[in-house]
Chains A and B, each alone.
Chain A
Amino acid sequence: MSVLVYTESENGKFKKAAFEAASYAKGIADQLGTSVTAVSINAEDDASLGQYGVSKVLKVSNDKLAKFNADAYADVLTQAAKNEDAKAVVLSQTANDKYLAPVLAVNLEAGYASNIVALPESTEPFTVKRTAFTNKAFNFSSISSEVKILGISKNAYGLKENETDANVEDFSPSLDESDFSVNVESVDKATNKVTIADAEIVVSGGRGLKGPENWGMIEDLADTLGAATACSKPVSDMGWRPHSEHVGQTGKPVAANLYIAIGISGAIQHLAGINASKYKVVINNDPEAPFFKAADYGVVGDAFEVVPQLTEKLKEFKANNS
Chain B
Amino acid sequence: MKILVCISHVPDTTSKINFTEGDTKFDTNGVQFVINPNDEFGLTRAMWFKEKQGASVDVVNVGEADTEPTLRKALAIGADNAIRVNTPATDGFQVAKELAKVAQDGGYDLIIAGRESIDYNGGMVPGMLAKLIKANFVNTCVSLEVEGDKATAIREIDGGKETLTANLPLVIGGQKGLVEESDLKIPNMRGIMMARKKPLNVVEPVGADAKTKAEKFAKPAPKGEVKLVDKDNLDELIDLLHNDAKAI
Contacts and interface: CB of A to CB of B under 8 A. Distances in A.
A7 B177 CA distance: 30
A143 B211 contact: yes
A189 interface: yes
Nearest to A105: B128
B245 A114 contact: no
Given A102-B128, A144-B212, A96 B157 contact: yes
B235 to A, nearest CB: 6
A250 B38 contact: yes
A181 interface: yes
A185 interface: yes
Given A114-B121, A139-B214, A297-B229, A190 B220 contact: no
A317 B159 contact: no
Interface string A85-127: 0000000001110111111011100111111000000000001
Interface string B103-123: 000000000000000111111
A62 interface: no
Contact of A300 (B121, B210, B231): B231
Contacts of B210: 111, 144
Given A134-B121, A305-B231, A313-B235, A243 B142 contact: yes
B139 A70 contact: yes
Interface stretch (A35-43, A44-52, A165-173, A276-284): A276-284
Given A114-B121, A296-B245, A144 B213 contact: yes
A257 interface: yes
Contacts of B224: 296
Contact of A225 (B138, B228, B248): B248
A106 B96 CA distance: 10
B159 A189 contact: yes
A106 B137 CA distance: 13
A193 B160 CA distance: 10
Nearest to B24: A140
Contacts of A186: 162-163
A106 B128 contact: yes
B212 A111 contact: yes
Contacts, number: 258
B37 A141 contact: no
A189 B38 CA distance: 24
A265 interface: no
Interface string B46-58: 0000000000000
Contact of A181 (B37, B156, B166, B211): B166
A140 B217 contact: yes
B215 A127 contact: yes
Interface stretch (B63-71, B75-83, B191-199, B236-244): B236-244
Contact of A111 (B93, B123, B165, B245): B93
Interface stretch (A19-27, A195-203, A209-217): A195-203
A246 B127 CA distance: 24
Interface in A32-73: 68, 70-71
B42 interface: no
B186 interface: no
B123 A114 contact: yes
A184 B165 CA distance: 7
Given A133-B119, A297-B240, A106 B132 contact: yes
A135 to B, nearest CB: 8
Nearest to B233: A299
B131 interface: yes
Interface string A253-274: 0000110000000001100100
Given A112-B92, A140-B217, A131 B121 contact: yes
B247 A201 contact: yes
A133 B157 CA distance: 23
B131 A107 contact: yes
A103 B109 CA distance: 19
Nearest to A233: B181
A183 interface: yes
Given A279-B247, A309-B234, A182 B131 contact: no
A105 B136 contact: no
Contacts of A135: 220
Contacts of B142: 243
Contact of B238 (A99, A105, A197, A313): A313
B21 interface: no
Contact of B121 (A94, A132, A317): A132
Contacts of A298: 226-229
Interface of A: 68, 70-71, 94-96, 98-103, 105-107, 110-115, 127, 131-145, 181-190, 193, 195-198, 200-201, 225, 233, 237, 243-244, 246, 249-251, 257-258, 268-269, 272, 275, 278-279, 281-282, 292-302, 305-306, 309-310, 313-314, 317, 321
Nearest 9 A/B pairs, CB to CB: A102-B127, A195-B159, A111-B211, A189-B160, A301-B231, A197-B158, A106-B131, A258-B247, A102-B124
9 contacts: A99-B140, A134-B118, A141-B214, A142-B215, A181-B166, A185-B152, A195-B158, A269-B14, A321-B242
